[in-house]
Structure 1
Amino acid sequence: MSRTSEGLTRRTWLAASAALPAATAVASGATAAPASILPSPASSLGGTQFPDIQGTYLDAGSVHPFSVGAREAVKRYLDSRAMNGRPEGYEFGPLRQSVLARFAALINATPGEVAYVQSTSAGEQMAVTALGLPETGGRIVTDALHFFGSFHLYNELERAGMEVVILPIRDGRILMSDMEAAVNDRTRLVAVSAISTVNGFQHDLKAVCDLAHAHGARVYVDAVHAVGSTPIDVRATGVDLLATSSYKWLMGDMGLGFIYARADLIPHLKRPQAGYQQVAAFASHAYPYDPPGDRPFVTRARDDATGLFAMGTFSNTGVAHLDWSLDYIQGLGVEAIQAWRQPIIERARRELPRLGFEPMTPEDSTGPLIAFAYKDARQTFGERLKRAGVQVTLGAHRLRVSASVFNTPADIDRLLEALA
């Protein structure tokens, strides 16, 4: 049976989530987070944090709604920029470092192993360049359930001389036997999604990393549908490089993401680009009263992930947003979020096939996404769902449901009514 990156099966989470009140109880006592961010007795794990959602929103895997607390945190930041006096005790510099450290803790990394980037795609591009590709040549192995937006990158790398192997989908999953046949001693990179945006398939990341490392290859993971929704541990799995964005399961906004690089790998990576956020030391010998020197300017980069990947300015509103959201996620507990969500996903898995939808998601998946194939899905159901006020991800021939803390099984009932 395929497993999640933590070795937890769907059956484990079905047992854990057999009683929804138990999941809420776990969440309420999971951490010493401020009481204001913990769930109140309400109809969803999200408590009163998402009161403004109109209709039935089963599309958090596209863009997660903003919480009340995060909006208040952003307002506090905006007030600090009004130049009419900073809120008492508000210092944004330390906040940036604190958010970076809390994200690192969420994936069991150290703060020195993570850096801010613009997006998951920016992180993937940086990871590829840091590995010296395409200059070193060799093979890249990825799969047809990886993020579809990445295939342009790999097509370009193929044009630049890399050999690119894209593993096929078999019964909604990528088989380890296919990966074992594709990864060889010429392989430089294995690029996968921890949870596929297409159908929610989950790789066994430890097995992928063990295989790649046995051949001297590195593993890059797109974790945008995993971090914040499903337990992920970069130490336990052995992931080399990972990237994610804020606006999905981290409950943040667009324009801010993170990249992770394993500490012992950082000294062996090539700096993709040089930016001033990387600088650890700067000396000037060009301006009035500067001491003399052989060079006008002397710089030294940091020796951590920020020194390797950081560039220029990034979204301060995104940081302020995550300042609240990361505490909220940790306060609930990722395991409790997963346990709350699982009955919602299982109800969709059970009921939609009765309306002619073909399951695309393996039954042992425990992520926040479930997908179904239906010929001409957008044309058939687009207007119907819009009129009913139900939002899902609707492709030309695919319907995807994604559930978060504010959803309940009753949302699937409303989806079924709209589809029928």
Structure 2
Amino acid sequence: MDIADLRADVTLGDTVYLNTGASGPAPERVLQAAREEQARHEREWTVDPGPYASAWDAYDRTRERLAEYMAVSPSEVALCGSTADGISRIANALDWNEGDVVVRTDLEHPAGILPWARLAERGVEVREVPAPGGHLDYDALETALEGADLLCLNSISWIHGTQLDVRRACDVAHEHGALALVDAVQSPGQARVHPKAWGADFVTAAGHKWLLGVWGAGFCFVDESVVDRVRPRHVGYRSVEDKQAVPLDFHAGARRLEVGTQSLAPYAALREALDVHDELGLDAVREHIRGLTEQLKDGLPADRLVSPREFESGLVAFEVDDAEATVERLAERGVVVRALPRPDTVRASLHVFNTEDDVDALLAGLDD
């Protein structure tokens, strides 16, 4: 599949869809994979080899495919429902005591804020590190990590579209004896996801944004060196080796974060989406995105840009006079973008299925 094939397979009619950073439109090929997997499970596999055996095999294939994608071991991959689900599972699987410290950036999505706010109710201190312009203040990070237990940060800022230096941040965290958890949901499909190269202890992401999968297929990486520190409170029969054992006999790897049955369809879609992106090639995808972001930035007033002028990702944020009104006006013209929780800021997501005409339509709508 090439870029033209993908564009033809993403059927949105006359809509100019520029909101992949929230949720990507799955191509027909990916949707078909989900439908076929669900049908096989409900009709064929329910009889032979049985619904559970077939599901377990599908989960294993998905872990193996994700492990190949992230260059990690399948035992370091757990399946979950979403990025938020993965962060919450990790937060609730670590041993916290009153006075422990979590450090997060001021770039975090609510998925990377709310679990720590809940822990704060139990006496865990939460420190926020500034990231002016979407890049970390490393002096402030060094100070915040003194005596800290965990750092939570994005790989790509959902507000600025900046690509953070995850390796440097993880190294600083480890120098201070803290674990590092990366919310990587804006990376898969437009940037490389290499937990080992990052030096991350945990990475969470999902397939329904830039990978163009469907909702419901989240995944977690747990480095084998820290897995013994992960003792989930959210527990089910898939979390353990021996379902009858007390004390609990957790799985040796990241699978201890899994709980029970999950729909097979989203994970079949995820596997297919990964295959599609392999066929496209990440370099080709990024080059296409780069061209579109440059076109958009060239057409916007420089003083309105919230994202950096240089290319870092397909997310382009910019200021307008009234974000909500602008989004509504553009929607009436068939152009889909989103308002951000930042005063009078709109974000466009430019992906491989988008075209130069899409960018022109956005710029024309802004000029009205």
Give me the TM-score of the superposition, normalised by structure 2: 0.90
What are the Cα deviations for residues 277-298 of structure 1, in whole angstroms up to 9, with x where unaligned?
A: 1233457xxxxxxxxxxx9x99
What are the Cα deviations for residues 47-93 of structure 1, in whole angstroms up to 9, with x where unaligned?
A: 43213443211111111102111121122123324537899999554
Aligned to 1:64: 24
- Counterparts in 2 of 1:33-48, with a 5 A limit? 38-39=1-2, 42=4, 46-48=6-8
- Out of 305, 330, 337, which is 2:254 matched to? 305
Structure 1's 154 and 299: CA in aligned 2 closer, same or farther, altered over 3 A? Answer: closer
Aligned to 1:413: 360
Amino acid of the residue matched to residue 152 of structure 1? L
SS at match of 2:252: coil
1:367 aligns with 2:316: no
SS at match of 2:300: helix
SS at match of 2:174: helix
Contact 1:142 1:167 (C-alpha < 8 Å) held by counterparts: yes
Structure 1's 165 and 418: CA in aligned 2 closer, same or farther, altered over 3 A? Answer: same
Contact 2:102 2:125 (C-alpha < 8 Å) held by counterparts: yes
Q: Structure 2 CA distance, aligned partners of 1:365 and 1:187?
A: 33
Q: Which has the higher contact order (CA 8 A, sep 6+)?
A: 1
Aligned to 1:324: 272
Q: Structure 2 CA distance, aligned partners of 1:130 and 1:175?
A: 29
SS at match of 1:362: coil
- Out of 65, 72, 86, which is 1:109 matched to? 72
Aligned to 1:392: 337
In structure 2, stretches of 5+ residues that fail to align are none
Q: Structure 2 CA distance, aligned partners of 1:89 and 1:70?
A: 25
SS at match of 2:181: strand
Aligned to 1:334: 282
Amino acid of the residue matched to residue 331 of structure 2? K
What are the Cα deviations for residues 15-35 of structure 1, in whole angstroms up to 9, with x where unaligned?
A: xxxxxxxxxxxxxxxxxxxxx
- Kindly state the Cα deviation for residue 362 of structure 1 after the two structures are TM-superposed: 2.5
Contact 1:58 1:390 (C-alpha < 8 Å) held by counterparts: yes
What are the Cα deviations for residues 102-131 of structure 1, in whole angstroms up to 9, with x where unaligned?
A: 112222211100111121112112222233
SS at match of 1:258: strand
Aligned to 1:11: none
Q: Structure 1 CA distance, aligned partners of 2:310 and 2:334?
A: 30
Contact 2:306 2:316 (C-alpha < 8 Å) held by counterparts: yes
CA RMSD of superposed structures (Å):
2.6
Amino acid of the residue matched to residue 176 of structure 1? Y
Q: Structure 2 CA distance, aligned partners of 1:162 and 1:301?
A: 26
Q: Structure 2 CA distance, aligned partners of 1:46 and 1:88?
A: 35
SS at match of 1:46: helix
SS at match of 1:83: helix
Amino acid of the residue matched to residue 362 of structure 2? L
Of stretches 219-228 and 70-79 in structure 1, the one that deviates more from structure 2 is 70-79
- Counterparts in 2 of 1:271-286, with a 5 A limit? 271-282=232-243
Contact 2:134 2:162 (C-alpha < 8 Å) held by counterparts: yes
- Kindly state the Cα deviation for residue 364 of structure 1 after the two structures are TM-superposed: 4.2
Q: Structure 1 CA distance, aligned partners of 2:366 and 2:47?
A: 49
Q: Structure 2 CA distance, aligned partners of 1:84 and 1:234?
A: 37
Q: Percent identity?
A: 27
Structure 1's 113 and 170: CA in aligned 2 closer, same or farther, altered over 3 A? Answer: same
Structure 1's 173 and 53: CA in aligned 2 closer, same or farther, altered over 3 A? Answer: farther
Aligned to 2:225: 264
Contact 1:359 1:371 (C-alpha < 8 Å) held by counterparts: yes
- Kindly state the Cα deviation for residue 148 of structure 1 after the two structures are TM-superposed: 3.1
Aligned to 1:239: 200
Contact 1:173 1:201 (C-alpha < 8 Å) held by counterparts: yes
Aligned to 1:28: none
Contact 1:107 1:227 (C-alpha < 8 Å) held by counterparts: no
- Kindly state the Cα deviation for residue 270 of structure 1 after the two structures are TM-superposed: 2.4
1:223 aligns with 2:172: no
Q: Structure 2 CA distance, aligned partners of 1:280 and 1:234?
A: 26
Structure 1's 279 and 328: CA in aligned 2 closer, same or farther, altered over 3 A? Answer: same
- Kindly state the Cα deviation for residue 271 of structure 1 after the two structures are TM-superposed: 2.6
SS at match of 1:165: strand
SS at match of 1:156: helix
Give me the TM-score of the superposition, normalised by structure 1: 0.79
Total equivalences in the alignment: 362
Contact 1:80 1:87 (C-alpha < 8 Å) held by counterparts: no
Structure 1's 160 and 279: CA in aligned 2 closer, same or farther, altered over 3 A? Answer: closer
Amino acid of the residue matched to residue 16 of structure 2? T
Contact 1:79 1:86 (C-alpha < 8 Å) held by counterparts: no
- Counterparts in 2 of 1:96-245, with a 5 A limit? 96-133=59-96, 135=97, 137-184=99-146, 186-245=147-206
Larger radius of gyration: 1
Q: Structure 2 CA distance, aligned partners of 1:88 and 1:72?
A: 22
Amino acid of the residue matched to residue 296 of structure 2? A
What are the Cα deviations for residues 131-173 of structure 1, in whole angstroms up to 9, with x where unaligned?
A: 313x263222111111134323322322321221112242343
Contact 2:20 2:351 (C-alpha < 8 Å) held by counterparts: yes
